[in-house]
Chain A
Amino acid sequence: MKKFSVTFTLNGQAVEILTAPNRTLLQVIREDLGLTGTKHGCGLGDCGACTVLLDGEPVNSCLILAVQAHGHEVTTIEGLADGDRLHPLQEAFVENGAIQCGFCTPGMILSAKALLDRKKRPREADIRQALSGNLCRCTGYQKIVEAVEDAAKSMRTKKEAAS
């Protein structure tokens, strides 16, 4: 199959790849670029484990062709921490016990990030809505919701301290 050159920004770095047009963004991220933090749970856009941010919006990377990422900005779970310093959402997930098997966690955190980037003071209903495309079979969602609430709080405090 003919391969296409695709250029996009991945976690802040420019990437250029050659890929067949039928390969999904998920396949390219996991198999060609070796970033295995993005999980493959169903391949049908049902579970949300493969969620990445495309220009800041959460998408199921199993439903997007890699060529569609051309010229766009992609963020995966590997792009969140600042070196060894966890993102406030990652910290809150660890502290609140929001992680059990961890398979939904990367997608969950990225969906939550998209929410907190546009809404500084989300209500519980906003959080549940924003996470409703990410299935979790372990936690019952409660500690995940609490973690997002905590992260929102700590992100606001940090921002206020910085300004």
Chain B
Amino acid sequence: MKKQFDVLNSRAPRLDAPDKATGRAIYTEDLNRPGQLYGVILQSPLAHARILNIDVSRAVRLPGVKAVITARDVGLTRYGVSPARYDETLFAHDKVRYVGDEIAAVAAVDLETALEAIGLIKVDFEELPAVFDPHQAMIEGAPQLHEDYPRNICAEVHQEFGDAAAAFKECDLIHTHKFVNQRQDAAFLEPHACLAEYDLSGRLTLFTSTQVPHYVQRTVAMVTGLPVGRVRVVKPYVGGGFGPKAEATPLEMSACFLSMKTGRPVKMSYTREQVFLHSRARHRFFHEMTTGVKKDGSILVLDHQCVLDGGAYSSFGIATVYYAGSLLGGPYRLPNMKYDGWRVYTNKPACGAQRGHGGVAARACFEQQLDIIAAELGLDPIELRLKNIMAAGDVTCNELNMSSLGMHECIDAVRKGSNWDKKKGRLPKGQGIGMACGFFVSGAGYPIYRSDTYHSTVVIKVAEDGGTVTVQTGSAEIGQGSDTTMAMIAAETLGIPLGDVRVVSGDTDLSVDLGAYSSRQTLMTGQAAKEAAEEVKRQILEVLAEELGLDAARLDIRRGRIKIKGPPVDITPLRIRYLREHRGWSNQPDGEELTFREAARLAYLAKGTIVGTGKYKPPPLGGKFKGATVGTSPAYGCSAQVVEVSVDLETGQVFVEAMTDAHDCGLAINRTSVEGQMEGSLCMGLGEALFEEVKFDEQGRVVNPSLGEYHLPTALDMPKVKSIIVESNEPNGPFGAKEVGEGAIMPTIPAILNAVHDAAGVRINELPLTPERVLTALREAEAKTGQT
């Protein structure tokens, strides 16, 4: 039977919701400082050009301008996400590599003056031939972006698990399939913003809209040359991240340099167009997969090639190209897997990580292939999947350990929840039903830079009156609800009501935490929070045991009250002592049991301020092969989805009519928040499947850099979602919890594609499913039928 909790597994309202509902929540753009300056960045108008000269003299002379900086002022320290590919400098010095590449920055007394000054900077360019297509970029003699990377290959992966060639000989059916998505934009509602303040003691404070205060602190320190200890990064509320805010930006570093140079606070933000130009969002993936199965449907082998259109810099790209292969290792038993991947530089904004990092397009390709194979074998798509499904304890061929895996339960849940058996194969033409599965990491097994660092530390401090406890963490609440999660874990562990826990987070001064990416905080920060709370509880109960002359093992705390096992104990002397401490105050403790407040006060009197610390890092994970770390995690969440669509066979328009989603998140810490992550993931997947595409003209300029022209799903595009929470017990997670934020997007696109095939009889191998693309496929299919 499932354990009963006092706080966890509930639908507690989020701690930050009242402030957000009333407009009181402060985001970076809402901050202002006396005497602050406004910064603006000059970006390249050309996709590829040599910089011959930069003349800032007119900008410097403009009244109101306080500083103009270029590469000459800030140096050429290389940075990036992965130390193996530090290929960016803050400002371009020899050449620009995409439309939007940063050249200079200005700080002025107001935004208008700063913008005017940017217009006065004169840059002489010598235009170079540019390359926008990754396949062309890989050809010998193509324009080369980075000297050190011939054929523009930023990273390549060649892995083989088992023996693919031998396995193909054993197969009864082999299917090959190509698939391509489009470059996506994360389209968080809050554009990046920051405010840098360099003070007289030589300390730099950066308020910024980021997912990763820790990595920003490290990168800013490296690029400015300040010691890490003198850089403090503070994250106010963040209006969504989804991946692209998981790295340090030129905006942040420009603001820091400008503040250091002027001695004044500098505020900067990207316009919506600049958000598109900075990008760092989902790559475009060109997949080719060949899957071999036995007649009975057992999958024997996958041979997979993938080319990623990377844009001008690496960003997260090395991890992305590895993830695109490694995340196919499950959730089906796949004994042989060969993967060859290439991430290629092109003269476009750099792509990075976005929800479901690297695995989303791969999953979309593979899950369609499973449906095609099922049809050829005459199997129901669900039966084929169940035949191959992994279970808890299974290890993938690339050595990912499924320590818990409710995959089978998820499939059962959506099968029932969607009424699959009544609908599959029985819907009229133009209506269809499709399904798919997926899984994702609960936190990357290793930090982005090689280090033995803890992935998370948490400090819990008890107020001197014992009334409240404060959880201090560097983790990042970016909208996903992590503050509430940590408060709930601390409250449950300590045995006190949620209302008595306060969370302070998102500040590098508070603790070390790698931040909000790879769906890591529930498990990793959660483990550290749990350990810190246990430590606080132990200290308090030890003091109490001594005061009462009892064995501490007889004591526990539940719902804010002290529980004493065994024969009755007279608590009156302790209560009187507490009341004397606090005489004249209202709301005094009463009842037959001592309260947490009384016990915590006694502990304070005995030991001073009660502080508990917790820490977490995963054990060594994964195999020994090259790239074995990417895809490792202490736990994996998984999900299955069923989607119903209707396709207008005259116009090619696709409507998603219903979605049923089951996700195994281990123990659901907060049921409402879990559903929120599921529903949000499905919406983002639906957008990528049906609408979203960042488009370029022939000169490498983004032609739709606005939320109007880059079509996001609206309330009218989303159907009602049936969300089913499946709870396995994850041995490596706090109270059995694991991820939900990214795994939930994995099945969405292929489930839609499979449903469209069911409705219209056509396979669409390129996203998004525009009416034009669907109609073309329908006409081609008709023509083919006509011929035969």
Residues on A facing B (Cβ under 8 Å): 30, 35-47, 49, 76-78, 80-81, 86, 90-91, 93-97, 99-106, 109, 127-129, 131-145
Q: Are A97 and B11 in contact (CB under 8 A)?
A: yes
Q: Which of A35, A41, A129, A138 contacts B479 (CB 8 A)?
A: A138
Q: Are B676 and A138 in contact (CB under 8 A)?
A: yes
Q: Are A137 and B715 in contact (CB under 8 A)?
A: no
Chain A binding surface, main DSSP class: loop
Q: Are B718 and A135 in contact (CB under 8 A)?
A: no
Q: Are A43 and B190 in contact (CB under 8 A)?
A: no
Q: List 20 A-B contacts (CB under 8 A).
A: A36-B30, A41-B190, A42-B272, A77-B23, A86-B18, A90-B21, A91-B21, A97-B11, A99-B17, A100-B481, A101-B188, A101-B237, A101-B479, A102-B16, A102-B19, A103-B190, A128-B715, A131-B715, A135-B707, A143-B676
Task: Please measure, in the bound complex, the distance between the C-alpha atom of A57 and the C-alpha atom of B237, giving whole angstroms.
Answer: 28
Using Cβ atoms and an 8 Å threshold, which residues of chain A touch B17?
93-94, 97, 99, 102
CB distance from A46 to the nearest CB of B (A): 4
Using Cβ atoms and an 8 Å threshold, which residues of chain B touch A133?
714
Q: A44-B272, A104-B189 are contacts. A37–B707 as well, Cβ < 8 Å?
A: no
Using Cβ atoms and an 8 Å threshold, which residues of chain A touch B190?
39, 41, 101, 103
Q: Are A137 and B20 in contact (CB under 8 A)?
A: no
Task: Please measure, in the bound complex, the distance between the C-alpha atom of A105 and the C-alpha atom of B676, giving whole angstroms.
Answer: 14
With CB as the reference atom, state the residue of chain B lying closest to A27. Answer: B111
With CB as the reference atom, state the residue of chain A lying closest to B722. Answer: A142
Q: Are B676 and A128 in contact (CB under 8 A)?
A: no
Task: Please measure, in the bound complex, the distance between the C-alpha atom of A136 and the C-alpha atom of B683, giving whole angstroms.
Answer: 10
Task: Please measure, in the bound complex, the distance between the C-alpha atom of A105 and the C-alpha atom of B479, giving whole angstroms.
Answer: 12
Task: Please measure, in the bound complex, the distance between the C-alpha atom of A47 and the C-alpha atom of B709, giving whole angstroms.
Answer: 11
Task: Please measure, in the bound complex, the distance between the C-alpha atom of A97 and the C-alpha atom of B16, giving whole angstroms.
Answer: 11
Task: Please measure, in the bound complex, the distance between the C-alpha atom of A152 and the C-alpha atom of B720, giving whole angstroms.
Answer: 19
Among all A-B residue pairs, the 9 with the closest Cβ atoms: A37-B23, A101-B479, A103-B239, A102-B20, A140-B679, A140-B683, A97-B672, A77-B23, A36-B30
| CB 8 Å contact bits of B13-27 with A (1 = contact, 0 = none) | 110111111111111
Using Cβ atoms and an 8 Å threshold, which residues of chain A touch B271?
43
Q: Are A142 and B16 in contact (CB under 8 A)?
A: no
With CB as the reference atom, state the residue of chain A lying closest to B238. Answer: A101
CB distance from A95 to the nearest CB of B (A): 6
With CB as the reference atom, state the residue of chain B lying closest to A90. Answer: B21
Q: Are B676 and A100 in contact (CB under 8 A)?
A: yes
Q: Are A140 and B672 in contact (CB under 8 A)?
A: no
Using Cβ atoms and an 8 Å threshold, which residues of chain B touch A105?
20-21
Q: Are B675 and A143 in contact (CB under 8 A)?
A: yes
Interface size grouping (class) on chain B = 35 or more
Task: Please measure, in the bound complex, the distance between the C-alpha atom of A112 and the C-alpha atom of B176, giving whole angstroms.
Answer: 49
Q: A103-B190, A103-B239, A132-B714 are contacts. A36–B23 as well, Cβ < 8 Å?
A: yes
Residues on B facing A (Cβ under 8 Å): 11, 13-14, 16-27, 29-30, 186-191, 237-240, 242, 271-272, 478-481, 672-673, 675-676, 679-684, 706-708, 712, 714-716, 718, 720-721
Q: Are A135 and B21 in contact (CB under 8 A)?
A: no
Additional A-B contact list (9), CB under 8 Å, known A136-B189, A140-B680: A37-B23, A39-B190, A97-B14, A97-B673, A101-B189, A102-B20, A137-B186, A137-B712, A145-B715
Q: Max chain B CB contacts within 10 Å: which of A86, A97, A133, A134?
A: A97
Task: Please measure, in the bound complex, the distance between the C-alpha atom of A131 and the C-alpha atom of B714, giving whole angstroms.
Answer: 8
Q: Are A46 and B708 in contact (CB under 8 A)?
A: yes
Q: Which of B239, B675, B679 contacts A102 (CB 8 A)?
A: B239
Q: Are B189 and A41 in contact (CB under 8 A)?
A: yes
Inter-chain residue pair count (beta carbon < 8 A): 173
Q: Are A47 and B14 in contact (CB under 8 A)?
A: no
Using Cβ atoms and an 8 Å threshold, which residues of chain A touch B242?
137
Using Cβ atoms and an 8 Å threshold, which residues of chain A touch B21?
86, 90-91, 93-94, 99, 102, 105, 109
Q: Are A97 and B675 in contact (CB under 8 A)?
A: yes
Q: Which of A46, A102, A127 contacts B25 (CB 8 A)?
A: A102
Q: A47-B189, A144-B715 are contacts. A99–B675 as well, Cβ < 8 Å?
A: no
Q: Are B23 and A76 in contact (CB under 8 A)?
A: yes
Using Cβ atoms and an 8 Å threshold, which residues of chain B touch A129?
715-716
Q: Are A103 and B679 in contact (CB under 8 A)?
A: no
Using Cβ atoms and an 8 Å threshold, which residues of chain A touch B479?
100-103, 138
Q: Are B707 and A46 in contact (CB under 8 A)?
A: yes
CB distance from A81 to the nearest CB of B (A): 5
Using Cβ atoms and an 8 Å threshold, which residues of chain A touch B715?
127-129, 131-132, 134, 136, 141, 144-145
With CB as the reference atom, state the residue of chain B lying closest to A141. Answer: B715
Q: Max chain A CB contacts within 10 Å: which of B20, B272, B478?
A: B20
Q: Are A49 and B20 in contact (CB under 8 A)?
A: no
Using Cβ atoms and an 8 Å threshold, which residues of chain A touch B23?
35-38, 76-78, 106
Task: Please measure, in the bound complex, the distance between the C-alpha atom of A36 and the C-alpha atom of B32, giving whole angstroms.
Answer: 11
CB distance from A22 to the nearest CB of B (A): 10
Task: Please measure, in the bound complex, the distance between the C-alpha atom of A37 and the C-alpha atom of B18, giving whole angstroms.
Answer: 12
With CB as the reference atom, state the residue of chain B lying closest to A131. Answer: B715
Q: Are B707 and A103 in contact (CB under 8 A)?
A: no
Using Cβ atoms and an 8 Å threshold, which residues of chain A touch B720?
142
Q: Are A135 and B712 in contact (CB under 8 A)?
A: yes
Q: A78-B23, A101-B238, A143-B675 are contacts. A39–B18 as well, Cβ < 8 Å?
A: no
Task: Please measure, in the bound complex, the distance between the C-alpha atom of A77 and the C-alpha atom of B20, giving whole angstroms.
Answer: 10
Task: Please measure, in the bound complex, the distance between the C-alpha atom of A96 and the C-alpha atom of B190, giving whole angstroms.
Answer: 22
Using Cβ atoms and an 8 Å threshold, which residues of chain A touch B191?
40-42
With CB as the reference atom, state the residue of chain B lying closest to A143. Answer: B676
Q: Are B680 and A137 in contact (CB under 8 A)?
A: yes
Task: Please measure, in the bound complex, the distance between the C-alpha atom of A94 and the C-alpha atom of B17, giving whole angstroms.
Answer: 5
Task: Please measure, in the bound complex, the distance between the C-alpha atom of A103 and the C-alpha atom of B188, giving whole angstroms.
Answer: 9
Q: Are B679 and A142 in contact (CB under 8 A)?
A: yes
Using Cβ atoms and an 8 Å threshold, which residues of chain A touch B186?
137
Task: Please measure, in the bound complex, the distance between the C-alpha atom of A143 and the C-alpha atom of B25, giving whole angstroms.
Answer: 20
Using Cβ atoms and an 8 Å threshold, which residues of chain B touch A102?
16-17, 19-21, 25, 237, 239, 479
Using Cβ atoms and an 8 Å threshold, which residues of chain B touch A44?
272, 706-708
Q: Which of B25, B679, B716 contacts A139 (CB 8 A)?
A: B679
